[in-house]
Amino acid sequence: MSLYKQLWAAIIVLLTSLLFVSIVITTLSARDYLSEQLSLKNTDDAANLALFLEQRGTDTDLLKLTVAAKFDTGYYELIELANPEGETVIRRATDEVVANAPGWFVSLLTINAETGIANVQVGWEQIGTLTLRSQSRFAYEELWESTYLLTGLFLLTALLAGVASNISLKRILNPLDTVVEQAKSIGERRFITNTDEPRTLEFQQLVKAMNDLSARVKSMLAQEARRLQNLQRESHIDKVTGLYNREPFLRTLESALQSNDDRSSGSLCIVRVTNLVNLNREFGRKATDTLLRDMGGVLNRIVVQQSGWSAARLNGSDFAVIAPRLLDAATLGNDVQDAMSAVLKDHSTEEKTQLAGGTTEYHLDDSVSALLSRLDGVLIASEREGSSSIAQAYPTDIPMRPMHEQAEQWRSVLRRAIANREFSLAKFPVVNQNNALVHYEAPVRLQVNNETWSAGQFLPWVHRVELASELDKRVFELALEEIENTGDPTAINLSVAAITDSNFITWAENSMKKRSSAITGLWIEIPESVAFRFPENFKRLTARIKDYGGQVGIEHIGHQLAKLGTLHDVGLDYLKVDASFVRNVDDNPGNQTVLRTLCTVGHTIGVQVIAEGVQNQQEWTTLKELGIDGATGPGITLAG
């Protein structure tokens, strides 16, 4: 029972008790008063009537007439005259029922008035003894009316007191809803702060305590996020340019090429700053480092504007940019060249050095070595030209068809696939430390001409032809159908369209209402780059999914660890660590330190930490020792 109902029940019991006790005491007091007054009346009337009869003498008939006249006034129940021997001479009595008071009331509150007794004598001769009892009907009627009126007044008072209590309770308990909401949020791992502190002292103390807890968690997350960022910078980031080093960049590229999502296709660009040794000799190391730092800055500005892009300094003079989902390598090359050329111009070094580079598209199952070899050829040719240029490299000697022709073909294929429901879900197990099932990852697949295409082959085009929202809805429906049919907990990936499209949340809510029994098995995953880029949209989607019993997590976590502190009020259920941090983790102390700290942070706020792309048992063993809760990948098998 809620506190509000309990307080109301207590008020009702209290008012009822007061009403009952007050009525009982008042009614009993009135009855006793009336009994006393009736007894006095009986005594007085008996004495007066006896005196009157004495004046009539000993004539029996005259005495009878006098008694009858007195009795017929209607105020008496009994008038009796007995002779000195005790024999009844005159008796008038009535058994009249009380007219205006309920029988139960008369039976419950009996008025016991003493009978009036007086001697009747003429001179010194005693005629007899007179007994008189007044009619109690009037006393019962008066007692009933007063009790009835008193009860009405008490009920009216109770009603007014109830209204006043209701208003008072609402004012007192009004902050309780906010307190309860904050407590529920903390239980859901959303450490929010309540800025409207209630006036009630106890509630105020409770809200302050929860606000302090939320503030400490937020501060802890921010502190640990900075710590993780520093750890990552020490092992992954070039100190001069602020870009990734060669090793983590190549792991990121390899992870993208082997992924089951839209990261597996995109564009890659490598640019070389020629004559860097001569620049260093002519302008000095400090000036050259400033030039390189500014180049890193412009490349960082390019990649942070896009979801999942990365930039790196491969060696002293080579820079690289990876752009998942961008199937236009020439555009990437032009953007990189323009940005870096502007830096050379700002430093007045455009005549001292050139930018030689190559750009190419990559696709699922391309190898890192093949991509680098492909770019090396155009990079060498570009450097030989002696002028700043970035050439495009193709997988074969035959250039690909124009982009608009490819886009039109893909738009036709994808629209037909959505209309004909040609999409399906694959299933890959995610296991806990005991190799028991946590859920199945369910990347989307496309069936075209009896051929199954993985997500990496068509997802970049889904975004380019602006059909991502339609595909998200289809994947959402497929997951709910799968859960209903098999009962297996199923995780699906949603794109940026699900976050930014205001209609998607409403549509998803209607779908969840229709299949409410399947929601508890639904796991929703949003890419790290999307979640941190649109935090408010992500929070709204998370809150709506969790309201219906689903679970929400962030995938590919690890590239924006500095923003980890913003998760304190989201209410996440799990984090999936990007495969680039997992690859060969058993031989990488730097990544081990980052993952160990990430697990500590996640467990502090009650979030599971799951590793992506585990290749072998050695990696899985190390991850378990670091505190990872679960894993998925080619090296993971489901127990039993």
Residue 356 Cα distances to 123, 169, 240, angstroms: 154, 76, 21
435-454 pLDDT tens trace: 999 999 999 999 887 888 88
Q: Which residues pair with 80 in a beta bridge?
A: 91, 131
Which SS3 state, helix, strand or coil, does residue 522 take? strand
- Per-residue pLDDT of 616-627, as tens digits, reads 999 999 999 999
Q: What is the pLDDT of residue 618?
A: 94
Q: CA-to-CA distance for 564 and 107, rounded, in angstroms?
A: 80
**Residue 396 clears pLDDT 70, i.e. is over it:** no
Give me the DSSP letters along 240-266: TT-SB-HHHHHHHHHHHHT-SSGGGSE
**Residues 487-506, mean pLDDT to the nearest whole number:** 90
Neighbours of 323 (CB within 10 A): 26
CA 389/CA 337 separation, integer angstroms: 8
Strand 444-448: give its sheet, edge to edge. Answer: 423-425, 444-448, 451-453
Between CA 445 and CA 453 the distance in angstroms is 6
pLDDT band, very low/low/confident/very high, at 399 (cuts 50, 70, 90): low
Given this model, what pLDDT does residue 233 score? 76
- For residue 258, name the pLDDT band (cuts at 50, 70, 90): confident
Mean pLDDT across 486-515? 90
* pLDDT value at residue 188: 64
Please name the fold of domain 241-393.
Alpha-Beta Plaits (3.30.70)
CATH of domain 417-631: 3.20.20.450
Residue 212: which residues within 8 A CB-CB, separation 6 or more? none
Helix or strand (DSSP H, E) at 551: strand 551-557
Phi-psi map region of 386: left, alpha, beta (phi>0 left; psi -120 to 50 alpha): left
Q: Is pLDDT of 286 > 70?
A: yes
CA pair distance 439, 430, nearest whole angstrom: 5
Least confident range from 222-236, 301-315, 484-498: namely: 222-236
* Range from 146-155, 518-527, 549-558 carrying the lowest mean pLDDT: 146-155
pTM strictly above 0.85: no
Quick one: pLDDT at residue 125? 72
pLDDT tens readout for residues 482-496:
999 999 999 999 988
Average pLDDT of the residues in 99-127: 80
**Domain residue extents for the chain:** 3-160, 241-393, 417-631
Per 3-state DSSP, what percentage of the chain is helix, strand, and coil (rounded to 5)?
A: 55, 20, 25
Q: Write the CATH number of the domain with boundaries 3-160.
A: 3.30.450
Strand partners, 70: none
* pLDDT tens figures, 593-605: 889 988 988 888 8
